[in-house]
Structure 1
Amino acid sequence: MHGGALTGWLLMALCAVSGGYCLLRTRAGTPRERRTARSEALMGFGMAAMAVPAAVLSPPDWAWAVYAVLFGAAALRALRPALRGGHHLHHLVGSLAMVYMAGAMAPAVTGNGGGGHAGHGAGAGAGGIPLLTGALLVYYAFYVLGSAGRLLPGTVAVPAGGAAPASRALGGFGGASDGLSELTTACRLTMGLGMFAMLLTL
């Protein structure tokens, strides 16, 4: 990646931890919540694999085709739920973005023979479509800002002579029941930042 091996390691670690947390979420919740957690775990681990520095592991040329097929299937799976709106639309965009990045990096791989992660490096610009890359960067920039905004403490109006609700005590965050939601949002924020960083390398 443009930021060097350290940036790649940090991005890989963040995405792997996010994917691991999402995998834990698949063990509880409603069927829809577990399905969402599985999709996010796949995204986190896929991004972590793509972020491994080339000096450590250069995947074979066919690995990018595997990424494209895997996330293409994930996009098809998310298509029907995405038509109903909600977070599944974001999963569809994310899966399609992964297919796009895999396809954009594949020509760079065959062109320089330096291994899959060379697509994240100095020769990455050969495969990307600037307009599409820019549109995805704008999307993820707004997504990250929106996720960060949901993590900020809210302002709660306190009735005259009353006390603030207990769930908004301690800095404005919710109680134990809201903790999972905030951690999930933080996980999604991390993966959004990771996707933004990876798109920048195109």
Structure 2
Amino acid sequence: MTNRLRLHYAPDNASLCVRLALDSVGASFDTVLVDRAARGQKSPRFLALNPNGLIPVLETPDGVLFETGAILQWLSDHHAGLLPDSGADRAAALKWLFWLSNTLHPNLRMLFYPDHFTSGDADALRSTTRTRINGQLAILDSAHDAPWLDAEHPGAPACYLAPMLRWLALYGGDTAWFDLARTPRLLAFARAADTWPVTALARTAEGLGPTPFSDPHLPNPPEGSAT
């Protein structure tokens, strides 16, 4: 255990969601670069922290955490502002946080790494996954109980969603399939996310460019590699 938060990260990976949340609440934390170019996420040292070999890991006074949704939930338990305190708003925010973690994010992994999920036709899997993701984004775009999409201050679900919209535009293969203009509320969300103060910090730390969520470009990180 550590008395100080320590984020194991790689640029433009799921650790970006955690970085945004940490900076959103003003948490003090150290970063440890995971060298993806050298498959650092599969090294014995990293696997001792997360046997799944996936980024991110957050070392905390309560122990080592992995899984992006779990880390965001833990942070919300220890810092005000990431989730509503109680009532219907908290219930709805938790629902969407776990929807992002359990429904949308796994489909992104299937899109980006289809060979991890099938020994057959990877292109066919990617095609059906694109269709499924577009349907899921349409559901979120029309959600009546997701006020966090329109909030000025990024909470846990917003910190999770913004990077995923970025990755869909960059890493999904033929990017012509993905158009945020088809989901105008999500497009407005991404444009607002570009202007968050915490986004400026992440842009500098990970080389994300001037409009990282609404009109993203491949990162130029000061250290490490996104892939």
**Is the TM value for this pair above 0.5?**
no
| Greater C-alpha Rg | 1
Q: Which has the higher helix share?
A: 1
Q: Which has the higher strand share?
A: 2
TM-score by length of 1: 0.35
TM-score by length of 2: 0.32
